[in-house]
Amino acid sequence: MQREDIARLSIGLMVLLLPYAEAFTVLPLAAVFFLDPGTRLLSASLAMLLIMRPALSVMETNFPLYVIAISFVASTFAPLAFKKFDSLAGSIIYLMITVALGYPLAAMISAGSLSSERILFLAILGGLSGAFLHHASKQRDFTVPFGTAMVMWLFSFDYPLPELQRILLICIFALVLGIGAYWAKAADSDAVLSETIVCLLVILFGGLTWFLLLLAFYLMGAGFTRYGYAYKNKLGIAQSHGGVRGYKNVYSNSLVPLALAICYGVYGNDIFVYAFIASVATANGDTLASEIGETSHSKPRMITTLKETEPGVDGGVTPLGEAASLAGALIIGLLAMGTGMVGVFGIIVGAIGGFLGTNFDSVLGATLQQKGVLSNNGVNLVATAFGALAGAALWYVIQFL
């Protein structure tokens, strides 16, 4: 074992001091900081978390010690195991170690003030976010301890959770879906972790039917990426890496629906239901418009000027693409009604909100994306937000009908 690995293990073992020393654990961290240059950023990051806790308490803000404890595990013990495996297997091992060690530590530190369900949920969330950041970030000694702590802290407020077994089943269900996408070469390892995080949170705060809408979008996106792939590849406009999706694609299309599902779980207002449907309908409509529309043999036209342009140019639309976008949005609306999520108005909201959001995506592509202000992922994020606003506005109109 190398000297740096021993130093990281030593830092990890300091988590045992937290219940007794709390913020004073920075003293042994300072010793490691001076003794081992390779772990200085990690020591400093964890020390900052410990210093933040009493500083925030002065402002009557609680930064739980058990969150810091799980961050210790996620940034020390789990990464050492990650090195022994490939990216996906290593990420799963990373999650298992974080949960296996973080759960009992958090239970001990919370001293019965937290339910076992909440501790498990936070440990899973810390493990998933830690594994993702460890693989995706170049500054992992900073992003992993801070990132995992902030994610867990964000969800450390009081809200109802299902029983322990159901939380585990949801996590396993999400991982199995992600691994299936990985084996089907529809997603890379980072996208698997991202999808698992989204699935876990959407099901816990919204419900399984909410995630089924997102799942339909993921499946159709993966399927239609391969539609006419040879033709699109010949034109040079096919998805890169053979259509394998990365975490940026997952988050750019799922962050807005995720936020809406969480808002619904917290506030319970139906406006979030319709906004969610329209947001997912936008993502699905846009994906089908791009993947199917690019196979059109008619010349695309810029949505802002209606002048002919080349296939694959941002902001270019075709009649086939417009029809595909409406069909994609309509499918989400029909699925929302079919699962009992909403009534017949859900179809209207999905179709109209999704179609408007998809065309707003094209407008952004023709303007801000071509100017370099927004990337493709940025356009997707803004467009799904616009679709959500359109869905919320339609819900408001429905109240007067």
Mean pLDDT of successive 10-residue stretches along the chain, which has 401 residues: 87 95 95 93 97 94 96 94 80 95 95 93 97 92 97 92 94 94 89 95 96 95 73 58 80 97 95 98 95 85 92 90 96 96 94 97 95 94 98 92 73
What digits encode the pLDDT tens for the residues 85-125? 768 899 999 999 999 999 999 999 998 899 999 999 999 99
> What is the model's pLDDT at position 400?
82
How many CB atoms are closer than 10 A to CB 184?
12
Radius of gyration, CA atoms only, the chain: 23
Q: Which of 97, 126, 158 is the last residue of a domain?
A: 158
185 within a domain of the structure (yes/no): no
3-state secondary structure of 159: coil
What's the total number of domains in the chain?
A: 2
Q: Tell me, yes or no, whether 137 and 222 share the same domain.
A: no
Q: Tell me, yes or no, whether 231 and 363 share the same domain.
A: yes
Q: Tell me, yes or no, whether 253 and 377 share the same domain.
A: yes
Torsion of CA 208, 401, 275, 223, to 10 degrees: 70
CA distance linking residue 70 with residue 148, whole number of Å: 8
Q: Tell me, yes or no, whether 143 and 249 share the same domain.
A: no
CA neighbor of 285 nearest in space, from 248, 332, 244: 332
> What is the model's pLDDT at position 225?
75
**CB-based contacts of 22, cutoff 8 Å, min separation 6:** 50, 53, 65
Q: What is the DSSP letter of 38?
A: G
Q: Confirm if 296 and 273 have CB atoms less than 8 A apart.
A: no
> What is the model's pLDDT at position 350?
96
Residue 239, CB-side half-sphere exposure with 13 Å CA sphere: 25
Q: Tell me, yes or no, whether 107 and 214 share the same domain.
A: no
What digits encode the pLDDT tens for the residues 313-362? 889 999 999 999 999 999 999 999 999 999 999 999 999 999 999 999 99
Q: Tell me, yes or no, whether 143 and 273 share the same domain.
A: no
Q: Tell me, yes or no, whether 268 and 390 share the same domain.
A: yes
Q: Which of 158, 180, 214 is the last residue of a domain?
A: 158
> What is the model's pLDDT at position 303?
95
The structure tokens listed for 337 are 């009604």
Q: Tell me, yes or no, whether 14 and 144 share the same domain.
A: yes
- Give the chain's end-to-end CA distance (angstroms, integer): 70
Angle subtended at Cα 208 by Cα 206 and Cα 210, rounded to the nearest 5 degrees: 55
3-state secondary structure 350-383: HHHHHHHHHHHHHHHHHHHHCCCCCCHHHHHHHH
CA distance linking residue 174 with residue 199, whole number of Å: 6
Q: Tell me, yes or no, whether 241 and 321 share the same domain.
A: yes
How many CB atoms are closer than 10 A to CB 21?
14
> What is the model's pLDDT at position 123?
97
200 within a domain of the structure (yes/no): no
Q: Tell me, yes or no, whether 145 and 217 share the same domain.
A: no
> What is the model's pLDDT at position 84?
72
Q: Confirm if 300 and 317 have CB atoms less than 8 A apart.
A: yes
Q: Tell me, yes or no, whether 26 and 89 share the same domain.
A: yes
CA neighbor of 328 nearest in space, from 287, 385, 388, 383: 287
376 within a domain of the structure (yes/no): yes
Q: Residue 57 is inside which H or E element, if any? A: helix 40-58
228 within a domain of the structure (yes/no): yes
CA distance linking residue 173 with residue 191, whole number of Å: 15
74 within a domain of the structure (yes/no): yes
Q: Is 212 exposed, middle or buried (0-12, 13-18, 19+ CB in 10 A)?
A: middle
The structure tokens listed for 243 are 């259509």
Q: What are the contacts of 164-170 at 24+ separation with CB within 8 A?
A: 164/116, 164/117, 164/120, 167/117, 167/120, 167/121, 167/124, 167/204, 168/120, 170/199, 170/200, 170/203, 170/204
CA distance linking residue 233 with residue 20, whole number of Å: 61
CA neighbor of 70 nearest in space, from 190, 151, 166: 151
> What is the model's pLDDT at position 312?
79
Q: Confirm if 245 and 189 have CB atoms less than 8 A apart.
A: no
Which pTM does this prediction carry? 0.93
Q: Tell me, yes or no, whether 368 and 219 share the same domain.
A: yes
Give backbone dihedrals phi and psi of 187, rounded to 5 degrees, phi first.
-150, 150
CA-to-CA separations, 50 to 12, 43, 283, 309, 310, in angstroms, rounded: 14, 11, 40, 56, 56
CA neighbor of 91 nearest in space, from 202, 20, 188, 212: 188
The domain in which residue 240 lies consists of: 206-401
Residues pairing with 245 in the sheet: 187
The structure tokens listed for 210 are 């909410």
Q: Which of 158, 190, 221 is the last residue of a domain?
A: 158
CA neighbor of 318 nearest in space, from 346, 297, 340, 333: 297
Q: Confirm if 263 and 255 have CB atoms less than 8 A apart.
A: no
How many CB atoms are closer than 10 A to CB 154?
11
